[in-house]
Structure 1
Amino acid sequence: MSEPQAAAQAPRRIVPKPMDAPLEPFIPRLRAHARARPDAVAVIDGARRLSWAELIDMVDRIAARLAALGLGRGDVVATLGEGSAEHLAVYLGAIAAGACAAPLPSGMRPEVLAAMLENAEARLLFATDAAMAQARAAAGAAPGCADAPVALDALEDWLAGARAQDAPEAPAGLDDPFDMIFSSGTTGVPKGIEHDHKFRLRQLRRMALFGYGPDVVSIASTPLCSNTTLVAALPTLAEGGTLALMRKFDAEGFLRLAQAHRATHAMLVPVQYRRILDAPGFDAADLSSFRVKLSTSAPLPVALKREILARWPGELIEIYGMTEGGLSTILDCRAHPDKLHTVGRPAEGADILIVDEEMRPLPPGEVGEILGRSPMMMTWYRNAPDKTREAIWRSPEGEDWIRTGDMGRLDPDGFLELLDRRKDMIISGGFNVFAADLERELLAHPDVAEAAVIGVPSREWGETPLALVVPRAGARPDPEALREWVNARLGKVQRISKVELRESLPRSEIGKVLKRELRAPYWKEAAGG
């Protein structure tokens, strides 16, 4: 192999924007809270309360046990299952041991989990009882991983004899892996997105803007394997607050938890906001303790933003970004009521570039692919140099930018309007149609709770927009009347060809609509089955 060929195939590590300010290591911060406020509640898990002293004792015993097994700097420790106190402690314990924590997404077939474990080069897997059969099958098929997963529900048995004082002191450096989050791809094996300590520590500094501190009670209601959860959970712990875990989300349960513990913060995805606001007990619930509510992972519809601001106390912050990092915008919804159709402006230290198909920068108002660059950028896709190279554009100046695959435009004030995934854009009669524009109009109808617009085959136009609509509870809209209503509000080339009613839309663990699954039957039929 020639030297140029070898260089092209070498693992590509991404170079983020520099940030010169010193960073305080994560685990020592947690230990400091345990020393200063040992009896304060750190974690709520159902009826269980874990004090800071108890949490750090468990974390350090896990780190000591891992170290005794020879696991530490550079090793990967994977977990599988719902978000319990033990699951959280193992995630933290792996980091305390100097290893990389890799929480795996549930619902995957064992062979896919095995491929993820192999890709991550995981040495050990922890699993809850509910996920144990799946975990055993996956671990047994993954080279290098211990065949017998450790039972999270019997963690104390595994920790027998482990002493907190034997935990490593400072085993990892800023450039070492902190955690690995797997992408939510609907086909193939999800990619392992590797974050180093710099990434997470810089993220903690940014999230401190939203008032995290020792008096915060933050609800984590999405899976621990999701970056959405960790973005808010880690600053809660880093600042000495209380993290309330929901093993499985339900709207009424969220309301009970929020009231019982006087919750101040929550990170939620749009579908959760909709379900909470629609819950029968919402209007009677006392949510006056809320200071900040965060939303991410999918666009928050304008009408829903307005409803949250009107009915739910506290600030509403929408964050647009990627698990890969690079891009980050923030919209303070109450401060910018005229910008609710946007996802805000770039966060401090983050840059946005809109480019055309030739990767040429576009001016404000022009639609193109969104690229991002910031001090928080993934190291790489684990053991996937080709996919890493595909995700990165290196500018003529030698700067690395992460390609989002999203289409959008900047307005004259620097606010980003998000339009669609590039792969979800509908090309009808030669015109680009953005599903987000059509969905926004549909969601303005009083009978529509959820809407997804997809491109389906059309003999006349190549493809044409089809609207799949979930009605509000008790509503029975006529599909044809709804189509006429929305088309009267759309441009000529945007018009929807048909409306179909659905009881629900397929979603990922984190609440994203799986448009590939929605499109598949129509294109399969057009291809002759």
Structure 2
Amino acid sequence: MSQMTNAAETSASPRFVHFAERIRAAAAAKPDLEVIKCAGEARTWREFLPRINQVANMLAARGLGRGTMIAILAKSSIEYMEVFLGALQAGVCTVPLSGMASSEQLEMMVKDSGSKLVFASASTRDLIEPFRGRIEAVPADGYVAIDFEGEGWTPYETLLKGASTEPLYVDIEPGDAFNLIYSSGTTGVPKGIVQSQQMRAGHILRFHSLGPLDNAVTLISTALYSNTTLVMLLPTLAMGGRVIIMPKFDVKGYLEIAEKERVTHTMLVPVQFQRLLAYPDFDKYDLSAFEVKFCTSAPLREGVKREILARWPGKMFENYGLTEGGVGTILACHDHPDKLASVGTAGMGVDLRIINEAGEELPQGEIGEVIGRNGAMMTGYHNRPDLTEAMIWRSPEGQIFYKSGDMGRIDEDGFLYLLDRKKDMIISGGFNIYASDIEVEIAKHPEVEDVAVIGVPSAEWGETPLALVVLKPESRLGEAELTAWANARLGKTQRISGVEFRDDLPRSTIGKVMKRELRAPYWAESGRAI
């Protein structure tokens, strides 16, 4: 594992309390709380903690502890959480894997992580079968079936049989690896992001400060392998709340659970907010128990934020940040209705700055790359010190900042406005064009449901903006008509070369539009690299 000295992480902060300690305290305080529920099944702490302890003791009996890793590629379930939390009790680092990755990518991730066990569910088995038995670090009985039986697979219950249900106490240090999350791979080979115990402890305190979680009822509807999910789920458990997990998000099911369970907290990605608000019966559901809603993973459009404030009870926060940490802002939408086009101000303990291509810090108001540092930063990219170093910007004082890859500016009030991913910026005729500016304008058309703007080859300009648009149902809008409407409202250098209608836009499981996938066919035809 690549290691990095992190000045921000060693700065003055509250006493470090590791996650396993917080879990034991929460269980002791509320043993009869129905702490977790998924697909109709529920567990109190009195039932849940002994299972977590069994996983921890099983891992210890196999010689797995601090510095070792296990991988999980499975559907969301209570058993998934038993494994994840049990590993933490044992000091083992968990590697949650995405079912969106290919079998080849998954094999690479398991090898790269050095995982000693691989847990799977029936829904993900076929992704693992092609490489099962080929990875030297995983023993013959190390492929574990959570909810199925199969040759070469060890049943989950068999693995736990005989393991003690008593707590396992392990000395855990702030710098120990908590989890290893691989990037989505939508921009190339996935990178392993090592998040430390200290980093996760910071997440717990940060989210608890925004909306106390002691008695929270948090509804989780994104995949358990996602950092988006973990930054809301883990603090809820650690601070004494309860969690309801949806194995798969659907609008009607989400609203029914929210009403029935009197949900108080949730973390959603922009596309989920959009689909919920567009549901014809949304306003018929009683959502009055909501205290706090969070949005992250991709920018939430200003119009959607206003609609949330008008129609959905409770506070609304937009969180912008990196899985790697360092960069982080918070927009309290309910407190700043005049700043909804921004992603807010620097979060707790965050030092946020803007730099140019030469790595020079820029003054307020100028556009450049967003960088930041705080007490919640990754240890480094696993086995890739070169990539870790490329991520770093060092201040004149020698402090370590992380580069976000996002272009933005900070206004006179300290609010950050994002423009685009650096790699998604369109350079047309020598002018820098930010797709997000064009998307915001096109999204204002009453018949537009969704839009993504990409750069496509142009013989005259090098590249030119093209809008890929999803129309609202029943729309009769034409491509030429929308092109003319948009260009009448855009600046001269921003004008789009055209519009193409799509049934939908490809998104990752956490709602990010996969622009690399959208651009690829156009650049492949031109014979030029993207």
The answer to whether the aligner puts 1:125 opposite 2:118 as a matched pair is yes
C-alpha contact 2:101 2:184 (8 A) present in aligned 1: no
CA-CA distance at 1:151 after TM superposition: 1.2
Contact 1:125 1:146 in 2 (8 A): no
Does 2:187 match 1:196?
Answer: no
Q: 1:135 aligns with which of 107, 128, 131?
A: 128
Alignment partner, residue 3 of structure 1: none
Moved over 4 A (4+): none
2:470 touches 2:505 (CA, 8 Å); kept in 1? yes
Within-5 A mapping of 1:87-98: 87-98=80-91
Show CA shifts across 1:163-196 (max 9, x none).
121x420242111111111111225431110011
Q: Which deviates the most, 151-160 or 332-341?
A: 151-160
Contact 2:18–2:172 (CA<8 Å) still a contact in 1? no
Corresponding residue to 2:4 among 5, 8, 13: 13
Separation in 1 of the partners of 2:230 and 2:78? 14
The alignment partner of 1:130 has SS state of coil
CA contact (8 A) 1:175 1:196 kept: yes
Across the two proteins, how many residue pairs are aligned to each other?
A: 519
Shift of 1:137: 2.9
Q: CA deviation at 1:67?
A: 0.6
Q: Which residue of 1 aligns with 2:74?
A: 81
Structure 1 match to 2:404: 404
Cα shift readout 1:118-165 (whole Å, capped 9, x = no counterpart): 111111111111112322433423331234411122533321111121
Taking the aligned partners of 1:121 and 1:427, their CA distance within structure 2 comes to: 41
| Residue 30 in structure 1 maps to residue 23 in structure 2 | yes
Matches of 2:45 and 2:453, distance apart in 1: 47
| Equivalent-residue separation in structure 1 for 2:362 and 2:257 (angstroms) | 47
Moved more, 382-391 or 151-160: 151-160
**Mapped partners of 2:497, 2:514: distance in 1:** 21
> Match of 2:279?
279
Match of 2:158 in 1: 157
Quote how far apart the aligned CAs of 1:53 are. 1.5
The one-character-per-residue Cα deviations of 1:29-70 (angstroms, maximum 9, x if unpaired) are 111222221111110101111111212111111000111111
1:4 corresponds in structure 2 to none
| C-alpha contact 1:111 1:141 (8 A) present in aligned 2 | no
Please give the TM-score of this superposition, normalised by the length of structure 2.
0.95
Partners of 1:150 and 1:212 in 2: how far apart? 37
Contact between 2:72 and 2:119, CA under 8 Å: does it hold in 1?
Answer: yes
Map of 1:179-194 to 2, 5 A cutoff?
A: 179-194=179-194
Counterpart in 2 of 1:107? 100
CA gap of 1:14–1:421, structure 2 versus 1, over 3 A, is farther
| Counterpart for residue 357 of structure 1 | 357
| Superposition deviation, residue 14 in structure 1 | 4.4
| Comparing 385-394 and 146-155, the one that deviates more | 146-155
- Structure 2 match to 1:463: 463
> What residue is the counterpart of 1:329 in the other structure?
329
The farther-off stretch of 95-104 and 472-481 is 472-481
How far apart, in 1, do the equivalents of 2:2 and 2:210 lie? 36
The one-letter amino acid paired with 2:94 is A
SS of residue in 2 equivalent to 1:474 = coil
Secondary structure of 1:164 counterpart: coil
Question: Are 1:225 and 2:195 matched, yes or no?
Answer: no
Letter aligned with residue 164 of structure 2: R
Aligned equivalents of 2:213, 2:517: Cα separation in 1: 41
Q: 1:19 to 1:83 in 2, by over 3 A?
A: farther
Distance 1:224 1:171 in 2: 26
How far apart, in 2, do the equivalents of 1:255 and 1:146 lie?
44
Task: State the partner residue of 1:176.
Answer: 176
Distance 2:476 2:251 in 1: 23
1:460 shift after superposition: 1.0
Question: Is this contact kept in 2: 1:14–1:378, CA < 8 A?
Answer: no
Closer, same or farther in 2 for the Cα pair 1:240/1:66, shift >3 Å?
A: same
Structure 2 SS opposite 1:283: helix
Counterpart residue type for residue 351 of structure 2: D
2:53 aligns to what?
Answer: 60
Q: In structure 1, what is the Cα distance between the partners aligned to 2:287 and 2:473?
A: 23
Maintained 8 Å contact 1:126/1:151:
yes
Matches of 2:451 and 2:423, distance apart in 1: 18
Paired AA for residue 160 in structure 1: K
How far apart, in 2, do the equivalents of 1:14 and 1:278 lie?
Answer: 47
In 2, Cα distance between equivalents of 1:212 and 1:492:
48
Which amino acid counterpart does residue 457 of structure 1 have in structure 2? P
Q: How far 1:12 sits from its partner (Å)?
A: 4.7
Deviation for aligned residue 1:16: 4.2
Deviation at 1:292, TM superposition (A): 0.6
Query: Is the alpha carbon distance of 1:11 and 1:102 closer, same or farther for their aligned partners in structure 2, counting shifts above 3 Å?
Result: closer
Q: Deviations over 1:62-86 (max 9, x none)?
A: 0001111111111001100121111
The structure-2 alpha-carbon separation of the partners of 1:11 and 1:43, relative to structure 1 and needing over 3 Å to count, comes to closer
Counterpart of 2:151 in structure 1 is none
CA contact 1:435–1:454 (8 Å) conserved in 2: yes
Question: SS where residue 124 of structure 2 aligns?
Answer: helix
Amino acid aligned to 2:157: E
**Counterpart position of 1:506:** 506
From 42, 51, 58, the equivalent of 2:44 is 51
User: Secondary structure of 1:142's match?
Assistant: coil
Change (3 A) 1:209 1:222: same
Q: How far 1:281 moved relative to its partner?
A: 2.6
**In structure 2, C-alpha distance between the alignment counterparts of 1:203 and 1:187, rounded to whole Å:** 26
Q: Does 1:391 align with 2:394?
A: no
Ranges in structure 2 where 5+ consecutive residues have no aligned partner: 148-154
- Whole-angstrom distance in 1 between the partners of 2:3 and 2:389: 7
* TM-score normalized with structure 1 length: 0.96
- For 1:213 and 1:12, locate their aligned partners in 2 and report how far apart those are by CA, in whole Å: 32
Shift of 1:449: 1.1
Distance verdict in 2 for CA 1:187–1:360, change over 3 Å: closer
Q: 2:139 matched to 1:146?
A: yes
Of stretches 265-274 and 132-141 in structure 1, the one that deviates more from structure 2 is 132-141
SS in 1 for 2:274: helix
Cα distance in 2, alignment partners of residues 432 and 14 from structure 1: 36
Once the two structures are superposed, residues 179-232 of structure 1 have per-residue CA deviations (whole angstroms, 9 ceiling, x without a partner) of 111111225431110011111001111111122333211011111111000010
Tell me the amino acid that sits aligned with residue 25 of structure 1.
H
